[in-house]
Amino acid sequence: MRIRKCNRGSAAAAAMLALLLVILVVGTVYMFVSHLYPAPAPITSVGAAVDHQYDLTLYVTGIVFILSQLGLALAIFRFRDHGQQAHFTRGNNTLEVLWTSATIILFLGLGFLGRKAWADTRFTEPSANAIHVEVTANQFVFNFRYPGADGKFGKLDPKQISPSTGNPVGIDANDPAGKDDIVVPTLTVPVNRQVELLIRSQDVIHNFFVRELRLQQDAVPGMVIPIHFTAEQVGQYEIVCTQLCGLGHSRMHSYLNVVSDSDYENFLKQQAAGQ
Amino acid sequence: MSSHAQSAHAAPTGFVSKYIFSTDHKVIGIQYFLLALTAVVVGIVLSVLMRFHLVWPNAHLPFVSGGLMTQEQYLALVTMHGTIMVFFVLTTAPQGGFGNYFLPIQIGAPDMAFPRLNMLSFWVTFLAFVAIIAAFVVPGGAPISGWTGYTPLSGIGEVTGPGEGWGPDVVDCQHLAVLPCVTAGRSQFYCHAD
Amino acid sequence: MRAPGMTLMRMPLTCWGWFVTAILGLLAFGVLLAGGILLLLDRSAGTSFFLPAGLVINDQVQNHSGGSPLLWQHLFWFFGHPEVYIAILPGMGVASHVLSTFARKPVYGYRAMAMAICGIGFLGFMVWGHHMFVSGMSPYSGFAFSVLTMSIGVPSAIKTFNWLGTLWGGKIQLKSPMLFALGFVSLFVSGGLSGLFLAQPAVDNLLHATYYVVAHFHLVMGVAAIFGIFAATYFWFPKMFGRMMSEPLGKIHFWLTFVGTYCIFMPMHFVGIAGGIRRYADASAIEYLQKLQPLHVFMTIAAFITAAAQLIFIFNFFWSLKFGPKAPKNPWDATTLEWTTDSPPPLDNFGGEFPSVYRGPYEFSVPGAKEDFIPQHLAPAQVARAK
Amino acid sequence: MAGTTVTEIPELIGTGRNGGGASSGDGGGEGSGPSASGGVPQRTYVTGMIVGLGGILMFFMALVSAYIVRKGMPNSTWIPLEVPHILWLNTVILVASSFTLARSRSLFRADNEDGFRYWWGWTTVLGVFFLVGQVIAWRQLVAEGIYLQSNPSSSFFYVFTAAHGLHLVGGVLALLSVAFRPTHRLTRGTATEVVSIYWHFMDGLWVFLFLLLLLGR
């Protein structure tokens, strides 16, 4: 019976745990609201749509989070053992059905609402006048290939890859279409023009990630994966690799330069002259 | 019928049959639990080293060759932390440990359905754990391709460096191969709906 | 093997958890084994199951042909996602068990809880693709996987609400097992909800492979599962070793671990939202990662404290093994069969007299009964009635 | 249970719902409950084998799906493999072994010990023949210069046959042990049943794999 005696919980412990949960809720909500460490503003309409979907999810989950954590805190404090008799119940089917259907509607609804922001980047075809740039990832750099004046990419031949002689992606020397191809280590695109990236990898799986585009895509060897975007703000943004790709993983990055149309033309001219 | 009635559960005598190669689900459960306890200590140490490196990458560590932790060592920590925690703590303690110990008691059974299979699967798990710890010392060192081991990074020796790196994970697969046996043993209890 | 009268719907929820976990392991591990064998052959025998043609490693072309890296990811995650539930389901069972025992109340919605466990196990096999949204997999299947993944939130929510329902109107005794079970609920909610972000491919465009993911799975399958293990340890230690664990040490361990883990993993979400990428050995190369360093410092300090707190547990464990007060048969006034036998149990668990089962596993505070708990093995005649 | 209302409570203290106690009989088969002896009801072993086969099935299904996906890969330079003709013979042998096994089982039930041993022995022999045949098939391929790494199709051929062969070696050993070793925990009835379940499964699995290699080239 000694055990029975010490079964009494103390109000202090209950109060402390409840308080901790309240602090957790307040702190978390504050961090999310205050945006101390925000994601940078999106520079595409799709990015905005992604953020909208993110906010929507944040509201739904936020409400559930606050209610359940505070409910837990309240239950712990209010029903702590102070000698009362526990209320005997085995549950309530109406309630079960109620919250089951509620969560089904809430969560699945959220899932379907998220479809649009995903479809915009992945389901739709790029427009006919989109600029095509081929992104080649290898340990541990990105290379960006522009088709040049003829608008056609030259064939690739792995055997001819040699970064030292300025052919990091291995353009086939025997293919005339490849003669005027431009290969550069940073990505430069004109503002408000649709760009289609053809993402490929030479060795292991890499990833092309630009926070401001809200766009992430693995670069898988053996595959050429197209994605497209339309940047709406001039500026320089960081491209990083988010897929563990070996020892230099954390050093693998490049830049996305979004420039005005005229600057873009100049860039192409310079590079063409440089070939 | 009578044959197994007699042979069932004669109390084992002698230290080895009682505590090491015991077929008693309670002993096996405790063995799994202690294995997980060891594994979790290793895993925590690895994670602490990772956190340390993230904040003070240039701090000199006494036990690291050359003092500075290299990228390879960090990635090895990531991989081993993940693998050890998932396979030898989260899979081992709740199911292998407490499941083994209390499932039979809670349903009023004298033991698991297949006590010897049960013991076997523990010892294979144990060997797998020894092997994965050995990955730290094999030439080439521990794998660095993450516990998900995405190919081609994990598939080509030169890149991941340690050709031996995946050796442990293969042993791991062996232990995974045996796990279904113990799960089978466990599933017994339920195949007996009257 | 089950005791007379132990019908499926009279099994403790822990058994349901272990049962479904066993099935998951049975079906999932074989797939990983197959994948592992193929991968090993690729490594050592020069086959190309997963290795595509024209790989250039260190400027030399590898002679592999047309394998598929995505195939490995599919095989791996077909195992990998059920593995997550292999880790968490027993924890759920233990949490329900302990909550009911220390709230002196039957589990709220027992049948719904058991069905939710089965539902999670079933759905767990159909959502592996949500690890591969940006892997180059077809975006349409990506969307399908997204919807399926969201639907796993439903049984999880059912369990959460039922846990709260179990506590509501109870008589909560905050022993260390109960504290950890409550911690489990809180952590499971926090970690589970962030899953709703990652389950949507659009949002995954921003959060994939960032620390947000790390925070999510550490909270829900790492720390929550380990809280389940701690709850189980404090709860069953008396039965396993015949001695009680030290309550004060257990409580200190809980407070430090609970606060510590939240201090580690809550800030991690914000690192992820700001684009902090996981598996980076150093942040020096990427400009924007510099700004996040303060959060990393905070998390690291929290990690050190939390790790140190675990020493208390280890000390408590081994100290109590030797010096803990002797445990009675049923220290927690619990109802399930393990508490009807000695601590620790004899070789055949029940010393020859195997119990029969007459009632459900969580008969607490039944009106009309003298005690506030009725063990499963008590025949109706044996139940002492209140005057 | 969930949703039962508070009105049923007296009944809870009272009879306890749907029986329980000795009335409901014990969980074990063959009248031997855990309460009688620490032993395991015989039917447990059958269930155990079926459950175990579930795991094995998943393993092979993973390989098969990998085969299908890998074959469907674009530019995968997949050269269809001409399966050695001896596989036809092997398949016939293995299927035949299933029939001899069935015969042996039925004789066992009829308490015809000699007949049981005779056909059981034939099953074992046929199993060994099959394994030898598989090895011959490998040697033929090697003679043609087709190795594990030659082509994805050959890689899969070797993986399938090796994985299935190893499982079948286990089956042969089981057959032998049942024939010569007295079983302790299992009655011989259970032992023969469990082994034949495994054997028939491996037989069916092989036929499936053979058709896959044959038609799915």
Question: Which residues of chain B does C276 touch, with a Cβ-Cβ cutoff of 8 Å?
Answer: none
Q: Burial level of A128, CB count in 10 A (0-12/13-18/19+)?
A: exposed
Quote the CA–CA distance of B142 and B130 in Å, as a whole number.
13
B68 part of contact set with chain C, CB < 8 Å: no
Contacts of C211 (CB under 8 A, 6+ apart): C268, C269, C271, C272, C276, C277, C278
Quote the CA–CA distance of D217 and D204 in Å, as a whole number.
19
pLDDT at C3: 81
D21: distance to nearest CA of chain C, Å?
Answer: 5
pLDDT at C8: 86
Q: Which of D3, D6, D9 sits opposite A93 (nearest CB)?
A: D3
Domain boundaries, chain D: 49-215
pLDDT at D35: 36
pLDDT at B157: 56
Rg of chain B in Å (alpha carbons) = 20
D113 part of contact set with chain B, CB < 8 Å: no
Query: Hey, are the CB atoms on B109 and D184 less than 8 Å from each other?
Result: no
Q: Quick check: B159 pLDDT over 70? A: no
Q: Quick check: B185 pLDDT over 70? A: no
CA-based end-to-end distance of chain B? 20
pLDDT at D15: 38
Q: Which of B1, B3, B113 sits opposite D44 (nearest CB)?
A: B113
- Local confidence band at B176 (pLDDT 50, 70, 90 cut-offs): low
Quote the CA–CA distance of C98 and C112 in Å, as a whole number.
17
Q: Which of B3, B4, B181 sits opposite D52 (nearest CB)?
A: B181
- Local confidence band at A273 (pLDDT 50, 70, 90 cut-offs): confident
Q: Quick check: B99 pLDDT over 50? A: yes
pLDDT in tens, A143-168: 999 998 888 999 998 888 888 888 89
| Residue among C59, D65, D77, D149 at smallest CA distance from A222 | D77
Q: Which of D12, D19, D62 sits opposite C363 (nearest CB)?
A: D12
Q: Which of B90, B107, B180 sits opposite C3 (nearest CB)?
A: B107
pLDDT at D39: 59
pLDDT at C294: 93
Query: Hey, are the CB atoms on D2 and A93 less than 8 Å from each other?
Result: yes
Task: Specify the higher pLDDT residue, A212 or B143.
Answer: A212
DSSP characters for D114-179?
A: HHHHHHHHHHHHHHHHHHHHHHHHHHHHHHTT--TTT-HHHHHHHHHHHHHHHHHHHHHHHHHHHH
Asked whether the whole model's pTM tops 0.95, one would answer no
A268: distance to nearest CA of chain C, Å?
Answer: 27
Q: What's the CATH number of domain D49-215, 1.20.120.80, 1.10.357.140, 3.40.50.970, 3.40.50.920?
A: 1.20.120.80
A262 part of contact set with chain D, CB < 8 Å: no
Question: Which residues of chain D does A221 touch, with a Cβ-Cβ cutoff of 8 Å?
Answer: none
Question: Which residues of chain A does C366 touch, with a Cβ-Cβ cutoff of 8 Å?
Answer: 88
| Residue among B187, B3, B164 at smallest CA distance from B95 | B187
Query: Hey, are the CB atoms on D37 and B4 less than 8 Å from each other?
Result: yes
Quote the CA–CA distance of D185 and D44 in Å, as a whole number.
11
pLDDT at C106: 95
Q: Quick check: D187 pLDDT over 60? A: yes
Look at B80-84, B128-132, B155-159 and tell me which has the smallest mean pLDDT: B155-159
Mean pLDDT of D153-170: 94
Query: Hey, are the CB atoms on A250 and C186 less than 8 Å from each other?
Result: no
Q: Which of C90, C310, C347 sits opposite B11 (nearest CB)?
A: C347
Q: Quick check: A68 pLDDT over 70? A: yes
CATH of domain A130-274: 2.60.40.420
Query: Hey, are the CB atoms on C164 and A72 less than 8 Å from each other?
Result: yes
What's the one-letter identity of residue C286? I
C273 part of contact set with chain A, CB < 8 Å: yes
Query: For residues A122 and C139, is the Cβ–Cβ distance under 8 A?
Result: yes
Query: For residues A93 and A56, is the Cβ–Cβ distance under 8 A?
Result: no
Question: Which residues of chain C does B176 touch, with a Cβ-Cβ cutoff of 8 Å?
Answer: 29, 32-33, 36
C367: distance to nearest CA of chain B, Å?
Answer: 25
Query: Hey, are the CB atoms on B71 and A250 less than 8 Å from each other?
Result: yes
Low-confidence ranges of chain C (pLDDT < 70): 1, 387
Question: Which residues of chain A does C194 touch, with a Cβ-Cβ cutoff of 8 Å?
Answer: 61
Q: Quick check: B194 pLDDT over 80? A: no
Quote the CA–CA distance of A15 and A102 in Å, as a whole number.
31
- Local confidence band at A275 (pLDDT 50, 70, 90 cut-offs): low
Query: Residue with structure tokens 């407070």?
Result: C255
B146 part of contact set with chain A, CB < 8 Å: yes
Q: Quick check: B143 pLDDT over 80? A: no
What's the one-letter identity of residue C305? I
Neighbouring CB atoms inside 10 A of D215's CB total: 7
Query: For residues A209 and A47, is the Cβ–Cβ distance under 8 A?
Result: no
- Residue C32: both structure tokens together: 């990983």
Q: Quick check: A183 pLDDT over 90? A: yes
Query: Hey, are the CB atoms on B146 and A244 less than 8 Å from each other?
Result: yes
pLDDT at D184: 67
Chain A residue with minimum CA distance to B71 = A247
Distance between alpha carbon D211 and the CA centroid of its chain, in Å?
18
pLDDT at C268: 95
| Residue among B35, B187, B149 at smallest CA distance from C32 | B149
B18: distance to nearest CA of chain C, Å?
Answer: 10
- Local confidence band at B7 (pLDDT 50, 70, 90 cut-offs): very low
Partners of residue A250 on adjacent β-strands: none
pLDDT in tens, A23-45: 999 999 999 999 889 899 999 99
- Local confidence band at B11 (pLDDT 50, 70, 90 cut-offs): low
C139: distance to nearest CA of chain D, Å?
Answer: 18
pLDDT in tens, C351-375: 888 899 999 999 999 998 988 999 9
D7: distance to nearest CA of chain C, Å?
Answer: 11
pLDDT in tens, C206-233: 999 999 999 999 999 999 999 999 999 9
Q: Which D-chain residues 155-174 have CB contacts (< 8 A) with chain B?
A: none
Q: In which element (H, E) is residue A219 found?
A: strand A215-219
Phi-psi region of A205 (alpha: psi -120 to 50; beta: other; left: phi over 0): beta
Chain C residue with minimum CA distance to A56 = C197
pLDDT at A7: 45
Query: Hey, are the CB atoms on B86 and C83 less than 8 Å from each other?
Result: yes
pLDDT at B183: 54
- Residue A48: both structure tokens together: 């905005």
pLDDT at B150: 84
Task: Specify the higher pLDDT residue, A19 or B21.
Answer: A19
- Test the D interface: residue of C42, C68, C166 with most D CBs within 10 Å: C68
Query: Hey, are the CB atoms on B148 and C3 less than 8 Å from each other?
Result: no
Query: Hey, are the CB atoms on B160 and A248 less than 8 Å from each other?
Result: no
3-state secondary structure of A81: coil
Q: Average pLDDT of chain D?
A: 81
pLDDT in tens, A197-251: 999 999 889 999 999 999 999 999 989 999 999 999 999 999 999 999 888 899 9
Quote the CA–CA distance of B120 and A1 in Å, as a whole number.
42
Sheet containing A141-146, strands listed edge to edge, beginning at the edge strand earlier in sequence = A182-184, A141-146, A131-138, A194-201, A225-230
Question: Which residues of chain D does A96 touch, with a Cβ-Cβ cutoff of 8 Å?
Answer: 2-3
Give, as one character, the DSSP assignment of residue A206. Answer: E
pLDDT at B165: 43
Quote the CA–CA distance of C345 and C351 in Å, as a whole number.
8
D10 part of contact set with chain A, CB < 8 Å: no
Query: Hey, are the CB atoms on C70 and A220 less than 8 Å from each other?
Result: yes
Query: Hey, are the CB atoms on D2 and C360 less than 8 Å from each other?
Result: no
Q: Which A-chain residues 71-110 have CB contacts (< 8 A) with chain D?
A: 88-93, 96
With a pLDDT cut of 70, the percent of chain D lying above it is 79
B189 part of contact set with chain C, CB < 8 Å: yes
B157: distance to nearest CA of chain C, Å?
Answer: 7
Question: Which residues of chain C does D24 touch, with a Cβ-Cβ cutoff of 8 Å?
Answer: 4-5
| Residue among A32, A242, A218 at smallest CA distance from A135 | A218
Q: Return phi, psi of residue A95, to 5°.
A: -60, -45
pLDDT at D37: 41
Q: Between chain A and chain B, how many beta carbons pairs sit less than 8 Å apart?
A: 33
pLDDT in tens, B25-35: 899 999 999 99
Quote the CA–CA distance of C169 and D131 in Å, as a whole number.
67
Subunits that touch chain D (at least 3 Cβ pairs < 8 angstroms)?
A, B, C
Rg of chain C in Å (alpha carbons) = 24
Angle at B148 between CA B143 and CA B38, to 5 degrees: 65
Domain boundaries, chain A: 9-81+91-121, 130-274
pLDDT at B95: 86
Query: Hey, are the CB atoms on C71 and D58 less than 8 Å from each other?
Result: no
Q: Quick check: A88 pLDDT over 70? A: yes
pLDDT at C37: 85
Question: Which residues of chain D does A90 touch, with a Cβ-Cβ cutoff of 8 Å?
Answer: 1-4
